[in-house]
Amino acid sequence: MDIGDYLSMFLDESRENIDLINRELLALEQDPKNIEAVKELFRAAHTLKGMSATMGFGRLAELTHELESALDPVRSGERTLREDDVDVLLRATDRMEQMLKAIEEGRGDEGEIGDLIEALGRLGDDEEAAVGRSPAAATRHGGNDDDDDDYDYDGYQREIIRQALAQGLNVYRVRVTLRHGTLMAGARAFMVYQALESFGEILHSAPPVDDLEQERFDRSFVLTVSTRAAEADVVAAVQNITDVEAVSVAALTRTAQKGAAASASGVPALLIDRFSDYEAHHRHVFAEARRLGKRILRLTVTLGPGVLLKGARAYMVYQALEGFGEVLHSAPPMDDLEEGRFERVFALTVSTGGAPEAILDAVRNISEIQAVDLVEIVPDREAAPEAASMAREEVAATAEARANASSANNPAQNVRRAVHKMIRVDADRLEKLMNLFSELVIDRGRLEVIAQGLGHQGLLEIVEHMSRISGELQNLVLSIRMVSVESVFNRFPRMVRDVARELGKSVHLVVRGEETELDRTVVDEIGDPIMHLVRNAVDHGLESEAERKAKGKPPVGTVELVAYPSGNNVYIEVRDDGRGIDRDKVLKKAIERGLVRPEEAREMRDGAVYQLLFHPGFSTADVVTDISGRGVGLDVVKNKIESLGGRVAVFSKPGEGTIFRIQLPLTLSILFAMLVDIGGETYALPIADLLETIAVPPESVRTVHLQPVIDLRGTIIPLVDGRSFFRTTAPPRLGTHGVHPKVTDGKEAGEPTALYVAVIKKNERHVGLVVDRFIGQQEIVLKSLGAYLKRITTFLGATILGDGRVALVVEPSAFFEGASKGTLVV
């Protein structure tokens, strides 16, 4: 297998599972009796272990396996996790993330794991127990852990193991650890292999034998052997080999499953044939069939030696089972069975309402069948959550299948088909799709202009239909690019825990609205800004426990992370119930740094005062710590959010708390804009930043400190002359003493007698842009200006109009930063 073909998918799914492990560990720390969190932990760890082993990343699989083993006493109810235990487990997930990063960079799953394996092995031990542990116990590693029973085995290997057990053989999984610095480790591994082979047959090797011979393994490897020898003899033989540091043996035993796993027919089940051995989509089909009253039976069939036409015999078994129900799973796959590409053993899993005894008799009556073993498959406690809830991408299809189950002839088959409706698509392909559609939107606009110019009725009707269809296509393309902010929000519970512990605070994080969707490109960029705000809330916002108690507040502070959509925007809020922002302290710092004058400070609104916090290098912290105090956080937040076409507002009440509200556009590619004419050139103003458009009589313009202003319903709005700002060749309409005399006298040919003003709002500030005329609203496609012009911050980009001309899309904040200079900000 070329792992490069699957590496991207492996990395994505592994990170999802590590995020899930982090989340459930934190949930378990808050509620040690949360059995659902334990189940989810095991599901994620088990999946990660299996994927890592399949991809050949043995160290990552081993570390995940140790994490499972450390949690097993918690799952069985023998003990609960302590705070220190959670620290160790979280350190293990951190190491897993580091290993994934190394894999992504082509370095393999490198990284030392010995310290964590040792720490995980001691998890839950009392100090006295750790001191008094015997050397023999220290070398035992794994034991009869149920979760190891299918360690790296595929379906065919499990069948061989089952058959060996059925014949009364012992099957041992032998883990061998060589000493540090062992020379010729491959030769030592081969000696172990030969020693075990002398007892019986080697059924499995992890890593594969080729890797063992080439020394492509760490210090540990696992061999599975079938034998009639006793466990003690196996251990002794391996321990006698030079440079072997530790040996552990886990026996795979034929025994009834826990609880309800034993079938009513009395046929025993095997631990290696659990519900969780199957893939996720099979488990769901099984669960659906059981919901409809069916039983899931797995039949392992052994053909006699020297059978001719094995494929025909296997097909006869298949037909016999089809007479009792539906065959849902085959090992090996049906194509291999029909072609006879298997040894003597195969297994079929069937959903049926028939009696197990009748099914056994039907199969045994087929000639050349040597043995038949039947096991009933039921959800075990570890797999129950997966049977109840599938991955997010499968939920919608599953719900539809269930809704139609009552009228379908084959409900389980419908569910199975519905599950496969969901596919993964590479993000680059979505990006290309969006770019192609953007070109279509541009051509649509041009076609509309041409059709209106020609006035041909038939052409107009076709263009109208195309516009409607392309509008629906646009909504579809945009919806495909939308992803939930959950992937961003999931990283913060862990971060809040770590920061709170470092600061000695008790913090409760509340997350709401994580299902809210944004354009993928926006979601990729908002993680760091939100991280700064959350850290700021924990550090600056919340008081210490002593302060909160003195104020009559609960000792545990609350930080809320909330997302919700509104119109064409999404709002993300970071709230805390802490001390609030000290307005006077902020103003004092601002005056000291010369950001505001004392006389201005007295008149500033709260919103304007809080915006000072976003000034580069501004900080009110008295002490610089590893977490904050250098004034390099909030300005980064502002710059990043504004680069995404959003804005940040701050609301605070002393003693009650603070809210940082981020407003973001749903998408960055297509937006609504107001087209305006300034000096014969067309510019686009984003509608999201436009408060209103007005016509102002020239005589209503006043001058304050050489700045033209208007009074708009009691609010003083400074004016910016668009002609001067954009350096057009047309004469200016405003001067330092108000409206240009040529405008008021009406002597300028073609000049309107009124001033057309676009009122733009940014946080608590307003500015009026004087334009020559308003062309109208239009949906535009935003195009980048390219790397050469990336330093020009006055424009968000450019767009192509319906007549083929290029119009620049204005960054509204440029008017606030450069209004007093009347120049471009570069």
> Residue 683 pairs with which residues in a beta bridge?
676, 808
Q: Tell which wins on pLDDT, 796 or 297.
A: 297
CB within 8 Å of 599: residues ≥ 6 apart: none
In the predicted structure, residue 315 carries a pLDDT above the cut 70: yes
Q: Which residue has the higher pLDDT, 403 or 71?
A: 71
Give percent of the chain with pLDDT exceeding 90.
6
Nearest in space to 519 (alpha carbons), one of 671, 397, 392: 671
Q: How far apart are CA 158 and CA 172, in angstroms?
A: 13
Mean pLDDT of 34-63: 79
pLDDT in tens, 193-215: 989 988 988 888 888 887 888 78
CA dist 83 and 71 (Å) reads 14
Q: Which residue has the higher pLDDT, 276 or 88?
A: 88
Predicted confidence band at 156 (pLDDT cuts at 50, 70, 90)?
A: low
In this model, does residue 173 exceed pLDDT 70? yes
Q: What is the pLDDT of residue 785?
A: 74
More confident residue, 586 or 631: 586
pLDDT tens digits along 431-459: 777 778 777 777 777 787 788 888 888 88
- Return the percentage of the chain with pLDDT > 70, whole number: 78
Looking at 158-162, 176-180, 202-206, which range is the least confident one?
Answer: 158-162
Distance CA 826, CA 824 (A): 6
The CA R_g of the chain, rounded to the nearest whole Å, is 35
Helical spans, DSSP H, in 734-806: 741-745
Number of Cβ atoms within 10 Å of the Cβ of 643: 13
Mean pLDDT across the stretch 737-751?
Answer: 54
Per residue, the 3-state secondary structure of 578-612, as one string, reads: CCCCCHHHHHHHHHHCCCCCHHHHHHCCHHHHHHH
The pLDDT value given to residue 575: 92
Looking at residues 650-666, what average pLDDT do you find? 88
- Per-residue pLDDT, 159: 66
Q: 561 falls in which pLDDT band (50, 70, 90)?
A: very high
Angstrom distances, CA of residue 650 to CA of 634, 647, 653, 691, 764: 11, 10, 10, 19, 10
| Alpha-carbon distance values, 553 to 374, 451, 537, 642 (Å) | 63, 67, 16, 36
Q: What is the pLDDT of residues 66-77, one digit of tens each?
A: 887 787 777 777
Backbone dihedral angles phi then psi of residue 601, each to the nearest 5 degrees: -60, -35
Grade residue 562 by pLDDT with cuts at 50, 70 and 90. very high
pLDDT at 140 over 60: no
Range from 29-38, 173-182, 430-439 that averages highest in pLDDT: 173-182
Distance CA 555, CA 541 (A): 14
The 10 Å Cβ neighbour count of residue 512 is: 13
Q: Is residue 256 scored above 60 in pLDDT?
A: no
- The better pLDDT of the pair 281, 143 is held by 281
pLDDT digits (tens, 9 = 90+) for 468-490: 887 778 777 777 778 888 888 88
Q: What is the pLDDT of residue 704?
A: 82
Q: What letter represents residue 751's amino acid?
A: E
Rounded to whole angstroms, the Cα distance separating 390 from 392 reads: 6
Average pLDDT, the chain: 76
pLDDT reading at 524 higher than 50:
yes
Which pLDDT score is estimated for 410? 40
Write out pLDDT tens, residues 319-364: 899 889 888 888 888 877 888 877 788 888 998 888 888 898 889 8
Q: What is the mean pLDDT of residues 553-566?
A: 90
**Rounded distance between C-alpha atoms, residue 220 and residue 385, angstroms:** 33
175 has pLDDT over 70: yes
The bridge status of strand 244-252 relative to strand 325-331 is unpaired
pLDDT surpassing 70 at residue 751: no
Cα–Cα distance, 106 to 99 (Å, whole number) = 11
Asked if residue 145 has pLDDT above 60, the reply is no
Quote the pLDDT of residue 573: 92
Distance CA(404)–CA(408), nearest Å, equals 6
pLDDT band at 266 (very low <50, low <70, confident <90, very high): very low
pLDDT, greater one: 719 or 73: 719
Residue 683: pLDDT band (50, 70, 90) is very high
Asked if pLDDT for residue 240 goes beyond 60, the answer is yes
Residue 626 buriedness (CB in 10 A; 0-12 / 13-18 / 19+): exposed
